[in-house]
């Protein structure tokens, strides 16, 4: 049962990703419609797991800060809920910074951002063994304009499934 | 490897002392720490042909780089180069030294250099050099070093190199160049992400942190063999810091047990010793010339500032109090001066301060200026600037004068480290 559940979860995640990409890949995703759900309980969990792709959204930080913002705690709670519900889920947290600081310090700052997110998930009951972290400092911006709107988007912790 | 062959090929045939045995007792012609004026000297071209002009230009550019010399116009020269040196031909023009050099080319390049002291009427440098034609720049820089040392009593920097990182594509790669930006050479070390390299005092190796996207590891790059090996890896970030003078130990940053802290690594034994241990970010360690102290960055005041502690992690004191973002400390190899980058009006600028925090000075104000590294004689700072668009490599004096780009125009580069050779 757990395996089917996991399979669904993976499909749901892949499907949500594939939709954002080119349409030709949607055909390859067809078999996901053929998966039959064994019972009520799994179906309920599957509905929950469909949300994994959606719950792994970026949280953001103020310049030169690594404290979790009040407004991002709901995001972390949602991630923790999914991870607690399914012990097979591991995540990798990437810490990122904007370009304004210097690169070495930003590497340390990004590391602390990733670790701040990790610590928060742990206080919500997620075991540390299922949370990996890496800092990219200012090396991998998602936005390259030199303005506050862009910098704000780059100052983030980004979550990806790690298994 | 290259360095070794140069040492072998540039055969110094001999230092010949003429007329005055006092030559052994060095006289200081230029007090470099407090030059009252540029030192007036005559400089004959080595030869009129292309190679002679090339040699002349390289040596003159080297000496001009220091801004300590003034080459008097050739129209004032009464003496022919082939004439015997006669101080009376020079004293009326206030010229204090005369350089006469000759170059002859056979299968090798042969150069003779004679440097005369006008005031004391004696020769202060008489030396022959020989090397392959392809080593003209190496030979020229050695001549510049000898002239500089004869006049200042200090070692020149003209044979030194600068290591840095280029990001011309999606990857980062280590590059070496001469101190004047010439003879760029890519090293076979390329990674997706890379931080600034740090050199051992003897210039034989670098430590550099790099990542392939999964892990930040510290690599040891052997500059003679042009080989590299991963020397430290753990979870979290691992960032190369600075070699101790023995070349066998270095300080570095790791977040292997939580937030970034500073450690000491012993290359021979592969042992790691923790230096800092607290909740704050402690990063970017740089060692004092006597290796007793470490300057580093910590955010324990709420913002990143420069601190100094002893090598065991005790007696920590704060150095910077201005601004709210001071990072990238570099300790001068010759004194109690620290260069660092400080953010002012949203841009990073190079500053210097005494190790007690006094005499802090802003040296740059155009664009972003980062990654300061001192020349081996402590008289210059190499750094990264984006004042012309892309980040690239600049130099200036430690006082902030004569700021100029040395890497090629438009060449994307950062993280310079000035080597001792």
- CA–CA min distance B286, chain A (Å): 13
| Residue B171 pLDDT | 93
Distance CA A47, CA A15 (A): 14
| Residue B14 pLDDT | 38
Q: Is the pLDDT of residue B266 over 50?
A: yes
- What is the number of domains present in chain A? 2
Q: pLDDT category, A19, cuts 50, 70, 90?
A: very low
Q: Is the pLDDT of residue A59 over 50?
A: yes
Q: pLDDT category, B35, cuts 50, 70, 90?
A: low
pLDDT of A108-141, one tens digit each? 999 999 999 999 999 999 999 999 999 999 999 9
Q: Examine the domain organization and report whether B201 and B263 are in the same domain.
A: yes
Q: Is the pLDDT of residue A31 over 90?
A: no
- List the single best residue of B208, B260, B343, B416 to mutate versus A (max A Cβ within 10 A): B260
Query: Quick check: B241 contacting A, CB < 8 Å?
Result: no
Q: Examine the domain organization and report whether A71 and A129 are in the same domain.
A: yes
Place of tokens 């002679």: B52
Q: Examine the domain organization and report whether B238 and B366 are in the same domain.
A: yes
- CA–CA min distance B139, chain A (Å): 37
Query: Quick check: B237 contacting A, CB < 8 Å?
Result: yes
- The DSSP code sequence of chain A is -HHHHHHHHHHHHHHHHHHHS-THHHHHTGGGGGPPP-SHHHHHHHHHHTTHHHH---EE--TT--SPPGGGHHHHHHHHHHHHH-TT--EEEEEE--SSS-HHHHHHHHHHHHHHHHHHHHHTT--GGGEEEEEEETSS-S---SSHHHHHHHSEEEEEE--
- List the single best residue of B234, B255, B372 to mutate versus A (max A Cβ within 10 A): B255
Q: Examine the domain organization and report whether A31 and A108 are in the same domain.
A: no
Q: Is the pLDDT of residue A17 over 50?
A: no
Q: pLDDT category, A99, cuts 50, 70, 90?
A: very high
Q: Examine the domain organization and report whether B188 and B70 are in the same domain.
A: no
Distance CA A153, CA A142 (A): 7
- List the single best residue of A101, A103, A162 to mutate versus B (max B Cβ within 10 A): A103
Q: Is the pLDDT of residue B4 over 60?
A: no
* B275 HSE (CA, 13 A, CB side): 32
Higher pLDDT, B132 or A53: B132
| Residue B17 pLDDT | 39
Distance CA A136, CA A127 (A): 23
Q: Tally A–B CB contacts below 8 A.
A: 76
Q: pLDDT category, A51, cuts 50, 70, 90?
A: low
Last residue in a domain, options B99, B120, B152: B152
Q: Examine the domain organization and report whether B66 and B213 are in the same domain.
A: no
- CA–CA min distance B3, chain A (Å): 31
Query: Quick check: B325 contacting A, CB < 8 Å?
Result: yes
Q: Examine the domain organization and report whether B134 and B168 are in the same domain.
A: no
- What is the number of domains present in chain B? 2
Q: Is the pLDDT of residue B85 over 70?
A: yes
Distance CA A79, CA A160 (A): 11
Q: Write out the two tokens for B218.
A: 């510290």
Q: What is the CATH number of the domain that holds B291?
A: 2.120.10.30
| Residue A39 pLDDT | 53
- CA–CA min distance A111, chain B (Å): 7
Q: Is the pLDDT of residue B196 over 90?
A: yes
Query: Quick check: B258 contacting A, CB < 8 Å?
Result: yes
Distance CA B104, CA B139 (A): 13
Q: Examine the domain organization and report whether A91 and A35 are in the same domain.
A: no
Average confidence (pLDDT) over A4-9: 46
Q: pLDDT category, B169, cuts 50, 70, 90?
A: low
* B36 HSE (CA, 13 A, CB side): 2
| Angle, CA B84 vertex, CA B81 and CA B86 arms, to 5° | 100
Residue-range definition of the domain harbouring residue A25: 1-50
Q: Examine the domain organization and report whether A72 and A44 are in the same domain.
A: no
Cβ contact B283–A105 (<8 Å): yes
| Residue B342 pLDDT | 98
pLDDT of B312-353, one tens digit each? 999 999 999 999 999 999 999 998 999 999 999 999 999 999
Q: Is the pLDDT of residue B234 over 90?
A: yes
Average confidence (pLDDT) over B12-24: 40
Q: Examine the domain organization and report whether A91 and A117 are in the same domain.
A: yes
Could you tell me the strand order of the sheet in which B122-131 lies?
Answer: B11-15, B122-131, B109-117, B97-105, B39-43, B69-71
Average confidence (pLDDT) over B192-211: 97
Distance CA B236, CA B398 (A): 35
DSSP bridge partners of B369: B385
Q: Examine the domain organization and report whether B100 and B206 are in the same domain.
A: no
Residue-range definition of the domain harbouring residue B143: 2-152
Q: Examine the domain organization and report whether A72 and A85 are in the same domain.
A: yes
Q: Write out the two tokens for A155.
A: 């100052």
Q: Examine the domain organization and report whether B105 and B207 are in the same domain.
A: no
Q: Examine the domain organization and report whether A64 and A142 are in the same domain.
A: yes
**Cross-chain CB nearest to A111 (options B193, B255, B304):** B255
Q: Examine the domain organization and report whether B130 and B183 are in the same domain.
A: no
Q: Examine the domain organization and report whether A80 and A23 are in the same domain.
A: no
pLDDT of B357-389, one tens digit each? 999 999 999 999 999 999 999 999 999 999 999
Q: Examine the domain organization and report whether A150 and A124 are in the same domain.
A: yes
CB B411 within 8 A of CB B389: no
Query: Quick check: A148 contacting B, CB < 8 Å?
Result: no
Q: pLDDT category, A52, cuts 50, 70, 90?
A: confident
Q: What is the CATH number of the domain that holds B82?
A: 3.40.50.10070
For chain B, give the secondary structure using H, E and C.
CHHHHHHHHCEEEEECCCCCHHHHCCCCCCCCCCCCCCEEEEECCCCCCHHHHHHHHHHHHHHHHCCCEEECCHHHCCCCCCCCCCHHHCHHHCCCEEEEEEEEECCCEEEEEEEEECCCCEEEEEEEEEECHHHHHHHHHHHHHHHHHHHHCCCCCCCCEEEEEECCCCCEEEEEEECCCCCCEEEEEEECEECCCEECCCCCEEEEEEECCCCEEEEEEECCCCEEEEEECCCCCEEEEEECCCCCEEEEEECCCCCCEEEEEECCCCEEEECCCCCCCEEEEEECCCCCEEEEEECCCCCCEEEEEECCCCCCEECCCCCCCEEEEEECCCCCEEEEEEEECCEEEEEEEECCCCCCEECCCCCCEEEEEECCCCCEEEEEECCCCCCEEEEEECCCCCCEECCCCCCCEEEEEECCC
* B46 HSE (CA, 13 A, CB side): 27
**What's the gap between Cα B175 and its chain centre?**
15
Q: Examine the domain organization and report whether A72 and A140 are in the same domain.
A: yes
Cβ contact B239–A115 (<8 Å): no
Q: Write out the two tokens for B170.
A: 């999606």
Higher pLDDT, B18 or B250: B250
Q: Examine the domain organization and report whether B35 and B180 are in the same domain.
A: no
Distance CA B347, CA B303 (A): 16
Q: Examine the domain organization and report whether B187 and B100 are in the same domain.
A: no
Cβ contact A103–B195 (<8 Å): yes
């Amino acid at each position: 049962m757990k395996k089917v559940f996991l399979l669904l979860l993976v499909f749901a995640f892949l499907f949500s990703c594939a939709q954002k990409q080119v349409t030709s890949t949607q055909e390859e995703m067809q078999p996901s419609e053929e998966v039959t759900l064994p019972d009520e309980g799994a179906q309920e969990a599957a509905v929950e797991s469909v949300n994994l792709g959606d719950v792994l959204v970026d949280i953001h930080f103020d310049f030169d800060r690594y404290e979790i913002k009040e407004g991002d705690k709901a995001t972390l709670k949602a991630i923790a809920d999914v991870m607690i519900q399914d012990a097979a889920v591991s995540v990798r947290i990437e810490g990122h910074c904007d370009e304004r600081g210097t690169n070495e310090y930003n590497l340390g700052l990004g590391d602390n951002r990733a670790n701040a997110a990790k610590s928060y998930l742990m206080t919500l009951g997620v075991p540390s063994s299922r949370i990996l972290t890496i800092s990219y400092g200012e090396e991998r911006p998602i936005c390259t304009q030199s303005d506050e709107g862009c910098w704000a988007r780059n100052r983030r912790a980004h979550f990806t499934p790690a298994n | 490897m290259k360095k070794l062959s140069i040492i072998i090929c540039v055969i110094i045939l001999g230092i010949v002392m003429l007329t005055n045995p006092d030559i052994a007792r060095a006289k200081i012609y230029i007090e470099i720490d407090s030059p009252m004026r540029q030192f007036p000297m005559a400089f004959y071209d080595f030869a009129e042909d292309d190679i002679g002009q090339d040699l002349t230009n390289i040596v003159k550019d080297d000496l001009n780089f220091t801004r300590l010399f003034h080459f008097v116009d050739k129209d004032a020269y009464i003496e022919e180069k082939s004439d015997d040196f006669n101080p009376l031909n020079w004293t009326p023009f206030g010229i204090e030294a005369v350089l006469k050099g000759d170059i002859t080319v056979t299968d090798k390049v042969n150069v003779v250099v004679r440097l005369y002291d006008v005031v004391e009427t004696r020769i202060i440098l008489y030396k022959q050099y020989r090397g392959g034609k392809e080593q003209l720049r190496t030979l020229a820089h050695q001549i510049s070093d000898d002239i500089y040392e004869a006049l200042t009593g200090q070692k020149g920097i003209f044979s030194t190199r600068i290591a840095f990182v280029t990001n011309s594509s999606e990857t980062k790669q280590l590059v070496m160049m001469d101190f004047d930006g010439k003879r760029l050479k890519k090293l076979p070390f390329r990674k997706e992400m890379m931080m600034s390299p740090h050199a051992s005092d003897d210039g034989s190796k670098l430590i550099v942190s790099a990542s392939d996207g999964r892990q930040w590891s510290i690599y040891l790059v052997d500059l003679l063999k042009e080989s590299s090996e991963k020397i430290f890896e753990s979870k979290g970030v691992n960032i190369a810091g600075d070699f101790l003078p023995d070349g066998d130990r270095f300080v570095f940053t790791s977040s292997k047990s939580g937030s970034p802290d500073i450690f000491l690594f012993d290359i021979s034994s592969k042992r790691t010793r923790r230096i800092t241990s607290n909740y704050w970010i402690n990063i970017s360690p740089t060692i004092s010339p006597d290796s007793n102290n470490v300057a580093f960055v910590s955010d324990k005041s709420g913002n990143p500032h420069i601190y100094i502690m002893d090598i065991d992690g005790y007696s920590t004191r704060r150095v910077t109090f201005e601004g709210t973002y001071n990072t990238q400390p570099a300790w001068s190899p010759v004194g109690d001066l620290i260069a660092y980058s400080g953010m002012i009006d949203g841009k990073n600028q190079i500053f210097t301060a005494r190790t007690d925090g006094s005499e802090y000075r802003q040296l740059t104000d155009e664009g972003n200026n980062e990654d300061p590294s001192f020349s081996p004689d402590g008289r210059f700072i190499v750094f990264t600037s984006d004042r012309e668009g892309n980040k690239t490599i600049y130099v200036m004096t430690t006082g902030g004068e004569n700021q100029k780009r040395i890497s090629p125009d438009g060449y994307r580069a950062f993280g310079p480290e000035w080597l001792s050779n």
